[in-house]
Structure 1
């Protein structure tokens, strides 16, 4: 009886939640820390929901499961996601919430590295995160794994290889590079962008297409307000200095 009652209460609580958000572990945008979901985008979402007067729950799942869950389930939201033409009709959108830029970085002291075009990358040992958009882009440009392209298991590992001289260049999201340097207590000027690989997109919140239009409007209006009064920029400064 107690179990049944608990389940009923749990179901009622879930039904009362306006938005159930799903995300993945990609610091510093969204990440798990001691069982809590934190990060830039998480803070922004919580503030936007509060400003809009909407209740919110957040769970972390592997990306493909989170993506499918939001596509299939009303009153759900996916973050942090890049808005692309291929995804446009799959969701309803609130944003943008921040820029998305992927650079190839070099050590600031390595002024011998000169890149006039992406063709020059063949002359260097480049690192990228396994399965990342940057790794796929570099491979598509003809960089061969094991020679001009080194695939690493984490951003932290790739940065360490760069610092040790085992890589000449490392591809990384600018948010991630700022975060890794902060974790290592390294000065931000110890590395510098050598080439912009991708800077055309921005990050958004994506909602299930059955979300009521009024709810989308309330979320977008709330985001516009926190951008206009500086609260969005204040959250951003907590995670990066630029």
Structure 2
């Protein structure tokens, strides 16, 4: 009788584990997944396909979780729109996002994806040099609304800073080149690729101030079940373990 009870308990636990994993897998499948054009982490190729370091890792992690994720399922839109959507909607994921203390409690997190460096970029010919942080208030700083660059500038200098925002990095790269802004607050590697996209020589620009060195993550809305986030984190860890 004792062995029979142990057998029943064993199969009950196995069934419960299978059922729980199935529920989580279905939930992962139903997540709204958002991204922006942010090379080399996630970007649209010339043929319109979403590619990049973060995309490859996410597809591999989903596969580990038993789900096939087609990159075409991921919705690419301007960062400000996606950021607002992540703040208010449930079951939503956005990448790639820099994880900072200020953002920590606003979202749930899985990752990391990659290291990241956010800087202030100037045109070399301007020969801008900053000895003290307060000197940054003398310049017009460009960036994307709700992007980490502008958020860090606000934290550093407050709201009395001369800031010009655009939802598009292409526009900001051109504005910096045409000296419509003095500095561009953005991810260093990503900015270089946007210069190249716009037929601008990256060597004509330089990073003159480091705002942060951190890591990129997949961010989830707070209304997303933590079990879903944990499942993706487990899958990411398994992918990393095989590298």
Is the CA contact (8 Å cut-off) linking 1:23 and 1:80 kept in structure 2?
no
Q: Residue 65 in 1 paired to residue 85 in 2?
A: yes
Please, which runs of 5 or more residues in structure 1 have no aligned partner?
1-14, 227-242
Is residue 133 of structure 2 the alignment partner of residue 122 of structure 1? Answer: no
- Of the three residues 193, 197, 202, the one matched with 2:207 is 193
Unaligned stretches of 5+ in structure 2?
Answer: 1-24
Aligned length: 203
Using the alignment, how far apart are the partners of 1:182 and 1:213 within structure 2?
38
Q: Does 1:83 align with 2:99?
A: yes
Instruction: Label 1:53 to 1:104 Cα distance change in 2 as closer, same or farther (>3 A).
Output: same
Q: Could you report, residue by residue, the CA deviation over 1:94-132 in whole angstroms, capped at 9, with x for unpaired residues? A: 421112322111122333x11012111133333223343
TM-score (norm. length: structure 2) = 0.66
CA 118–224 in structure 1, closer or farther in 2 if over 3 Å, else same: farther
Give the corresponding residue for 1:134.
149
Between structure 1 and structure 2, the one with the greater Rg is 2
CA distance in 2, matches of 1:82, 1:30: 13
RMSD of aligned residue pairs (Cα, Å): 3.4
Q: Cα 1:77–1:134, aligned 2, differ >3 Å: closer, same or farther?
A: closer
Residue 103 of structure 1 aligns with which residue? 119
1:162 lines up with 2:162 in the alignment: no
Could you say which residue in structure 2 is the equivalent of 1:217? 234
CA distance in 1, matches of 2:191, 2:176: 12
The answer as to whether partners of 2:110 and 2:229 remain within 8 angstroms in 1 is: no
TM-score by structure 1 length? 0.66
Q: Relative to 1, partners in 2 of residues 1:165 and 1:49: Cα closer, same or farther, differing over 3 Å?
A: same
The C-alpha deviation readout for 1:147-195, integer Å capped at 9, x for no partner, is x433344322222122122332221222430221221243332211000
